[in-house]
Structure formats: structure tokens, C-alpha cells
Amino acid sequence: VVIMVAGFLAVIIQSVLLQGGVSIIISDSAQGGRLNIWDFDPNPLRRHTFWTVIIGGAFLWTSAYGINQTQVQRYVSCKSLFHAKMSLYVNLVSLWTINLCSIFCGLCLYSVYKNCDPWTAKRVNTQDQLMPYLVLDILRAYPGIPGLFVAAVYSGTLSTVSSSVNALAAVTVTDLIRPYFSFSEQQLIWTSKGLSDQCCT
């Protein structure tokens, strides 16, 4: 989380300095129609409205934190129900921090390139390359800082992938191996670890 937030903050701080303040970035985003928080259009086909975010978000986050194997495995590994609840609260604060940073990075991206879109100018091949392009563009004078952003991206990716691989290995051992093979607990642990390593290589 620290590496990820540090990568976001490097982009945000430099963008704010280049643009002349947070208020300019917010103003640019508002004028460009990027701040539509209070859009109460009931049309479900619209991508981002108040209702699609609230209702769709409720289903998304309920499934992610209520029944997702990766999350449930984390809850089960806690010492008690209290510790599981506390882990969720810590996760909530971290998730809000990362989401707010990523949203503001998007606003910074729009503000910096509002008059010269690198994608339409064919400087990048896909829209996914816009944020790395911004990082290299505004932070090239600071050695190591673009690498910090890359480390932040990899941190998030590896965290998600390793959790999912561990969860899949645990499910495989519990549902497909334990019922049909008379392995000891130690052998099951080694099997789970071996499956995790196999998936990662």
C-alpha cells in the first residue's frame, strides 16, 4: 500500500505543481465534464451515474468482500471474528485511499492533456498507455521516480495475482485432493504450496 500510494502521490504532486494548483485541475475537470458525481439520470445504459455507481457498486463490492474465495480465505485465517472485522476496516481505509488517489490521478491526466490528447495524436497505441505516458512525460527529470510508479503498478498486480493463486490452490486441495487422497495435514500444506508455485511459474 505504501509503495502504491507513493507512486500515485509522485504523479499527483508533480501534476499539481505543473498545473498551478489543485483548484485548476478540479476546474479543468469540471469544464471538461469529468465530474458528474450528481448525475441522477435513471437510464441504466449510461456508464457512470449516481444510480449505476451506487447499485452496481453495491453488487460488485458485496460479491468481492462477501463471497470471493480470496477474501473469505483471509477472514478464516484471522484469529477471531473481531480480528476479521478489524482487517476489513483497515482494508476499507486503504481501499478508499488508493481509489481517491487513482481518481485524482485521472483528473490530473485530463488536466495536463486537455488541449493535446496523446492518444488522438498517436503518441500512444491504447488508452491504457496514457498514465505511463504521463509519468514519463512529467517525471523524466527525476531519476528513479518513474520506476517508483512502475513498482506501484506491479505491487498492485502481484498482490492481486498472488492472493488469487493462493485461493485457487487452497480450493483445489480442499475440494479435489483431500476427499480422494489420504494425505496428512503436512502433505496437504506442501501440496497447496506446490500448486501455488506451479501456477506462478
Helical H segments across 32-144, by residue range: 50-66, 69-77, 81-112, 130-139
CA 197/CA 87 separation, integer angstroms = 26
Residue 190 lies in a domain: no
Residue 201 lies in a domain: no
Give the tens place of pLDDT for each residue, 5-35.
Answer: 888 999 999 999 999 999 999 999 999 988 8
DSSP 176: I
Which residues, other chains included, contact 34 with Cβ-Cβ below 8 Å and sequence gap of 6+?
Answer: 106, 107, 110
What's the rounded mean pLDDT across residues 38-64? 88
The total of structural domains in the chain comes to 1
CA 167/CA 78 separation, integer angstroms = 15
Residue 63 lies in a domain: yes
Task: Give the pLDDT confidence score for residue 97 in this predicted structure.
Answer: 92
Residue 57 lies in a domain: yes
Q: pTM for the complete prediction?
A: 0.79
pLDDT surpasses 60 at 187 = yes
Task: Give the pLDDT confidence score for residue 200 in this predicted structure.
Answer: 56
Nine cell digits for residue 118: 496523446
Is residue 155 classed exposed, middle or buried when 0-12, 13-18 and 19+ CB atoms within 10 A define those classes?
A: middle
Q: Could you identify the residue written with the cell 505543473?
A: 18
Cα angle 162-131-110, degrees, rounded to a multiple of 5 = 135
Give the tens place of pLDDT for each residue, 127-186.
Answer: 889 999 999 999 988 888 888 888 888 877 887 788 888 888 888 898 889 899 888 889
Residue 15 lies in a domain: yes
Residue 74 lies in a domain: yes
- Structural domain that includes position 41: 2-148
CA 58/CA 6 separation, integer angstroms = 29
Residue 53 lies in a domain: yes
pLDDT surpasses 80 at 198 = no
Nine cell digits for residue 25: 485541475
Radius of gyration of the chain (CA): 21
Residue 30 lies in a domain: yes
